[in-house]
Amino acid sequence: MRLLFLLRESSLLSSILLSLDSLLHLKLHLKHLLLLLLQLSSELLLISLVAHYGVVQPWLLTVCSF
């Protein structure tokens, strides 16, 4: 009876640890996607400003280099 209880507890702990690992992995992917979106938005801003002004101004490169 005690062995069955320990096996159940071990299985539960394994499931919890696996879930935590999956959540951490998902968090890492979401962080990576957020960084890609930020990069894309700054590139789109640069493209729209270049299209508007027709040339790249030195101040524009400074503003968009964040």
pLDDT given at position 14: 87
pLDDT given at position 47: 80
Rounded average pLDDT per 10-residue block, the chain, 66 residues = 69 88 94 90 81 68 59
Alpha-carbon gap, residue 9 to 1, rounded angstroms: 13
Cβ-proximal residues to 7 (8 Å cutoff; 6+ apart), any chain: none
The letter for the amino acid at 11 is: S
pLDDT given at position 41: 86
DSSP symbol at 55: S
| Helix/strand number for the chain, H first, E second | 2, 0
pLDDT given at position 32: 94
Alpha-carbon gap, residue 41 to 49, rounded angstroms: 12
State the greatest distance between any 2 C-alpha atoms of the chain, in Å, as a whole number.
79
